[in-house]
Amino acid sequence: MTIRYHTRHGTQIPSYVCQNDGIRTAQPICQHLTGDIIDSAVGDLILAALTPAAIEVSLSPSATS
Protein backbone atom coordinates (compact mmCIF):
# COMPACT_ATOMS: atom_id res chain seq x y z
CA MET A 1 0.00 0.00 0.00
CA THR A 2 1.19 3.47 -0.79
CA ILE A 3 -0.29 6.71 0.42
CA ARG A 4 -1.71 9.56 -1.63
CA TYR A 5 -3.19 12.80 -0.41
CA HIS A 6 -6.09 14.71 -1.89
CA THR A 7 -7.98 17.78 -0.75
CA ARG A 8 -11.61 17.58 0.33
CA HIS A 9 -13.32 20.78 1.45
CA GLY A 10 -9.94 22.41 2.07
CA THR A 11 -8.58 19.52 4.19
CA GLN A 12 -5.92 17.08 3.08
CA ILE A 13 -7.20 13.51 3.25
CA PRO A 14 -4.92 10.46 2.95
CA SER A 15 -5.82 7.53 0.73
CA TYR A 16 -4.14 4.14 0.86
CA VAL A 17 -3.69 2.60 -2.57
CA CYS A 18 -2.54 -0.89 -3.54
CA GLN A 19 -0.74 -0.21 -6.78
CA ASN A 20 1.98 -2.85 -6.79
CA ASP A 21 0.57 -4.62 -9.85
CA GLY A 22 0.06 -1.27 -11.53
CA ILE A 23 3.70 -0.39 -11.04
CA ARG A 24 5.05 -3.81 -12.01
CA THR A 25 2.71 -4.82 -14.84
CA ALA A 26 0.59 -1.77 -15.75
CA GLN A 27 -2.55 -3.27 -14.17
CA PRO A 28 -5.32 -1.11 -12.65
CA ILE A 29 -5.25 -0.21 -8.96
CA CYS A 30 -6.47 -3.28 -7.05
CA GLN A 31 -7.58 -1.59 -3.82
CA HIS A 32 -8.20 1.94 -2.58
CA LEU A 33 -9.10 2.92 0.98
CA THR A 34 -9.89 6.37 2.33
CA GLY A 35 -7.34 6.95 5.04
CA ASP A 36 -9.06 9.41 7.36
CA ILE A 37 -11.24 6.70 8.92
CA ILE A 38 -8.32 4.25 9.17
CA ASP A 39 -6.00 6.87 10.65
CA SER A 40 -8.62 7.84 13.23
CA ALA A 41 -9.14 4.20 14.27
CA VAL A 42 -5.40 3.57 14.57
CA GLY A 43 -5.00 6.76 16.62
CA ASP A 44 -7.77 5.62 18.96
CA LEU A 45 -6.06 2.25 19.43
CA ILE A 46 -2.73 3.91 20.21
CA LEU A 47 -4.30 6.24 22.74
CA ALA A 48 -6.14 3.35 24.38
CA ALA A 49 -2.85 1.47 24.74
CA LEU A 50 -1.06 4.47 26.24
CA THR A 51 -2.26 4.05 29.79
CA PRO A 52 -0.30 5.84 32.53
CA ALA A 53 1.16 2.49 33.62
CA ALA A 54 2.33 1.67 30.08
CA ILE A 55 3.99 5.07 29.75
CA GLU A 56 5.68 4.65 33.14
CA VAL A 57 7.07 1.24 32.13
CA SER A 58 8.30 2.56 28.78
CA LEU A 59 10.17 5.38 30.53
CA SER A 60 11.77 3.19 33.19
CA PRO A 61 15.55 2.72 32.94
CA SER A 62 15.24 -1.04 32.38
CA ALA A 63 12.96 -0.47 29.35
CA THR A 64 15.45 1.83 27.62
CA SER A 65 18.58 -0.29 28.02
Along the 65 residues of the chain, how does pLDDT read in single tens digits?
Answer: 889 998 989 999 999 998 887 778 888 877 888 888 889 999 999 988 888 888 888 888 775 55
Q: What is the per-residue pLDDT for 40?
A: 92
Answer whether 0.85 is exceeded by the pTM: no
Q: What is the per-residue pLDDT for 26?
A: 81
Give the list of residues 6+ apart from residue 14 with CB closer than 8 angstroms, or none.
3, 4, 5, 34, 35, 36, 39
Neighbours of 35 (CB within 10 A): 19
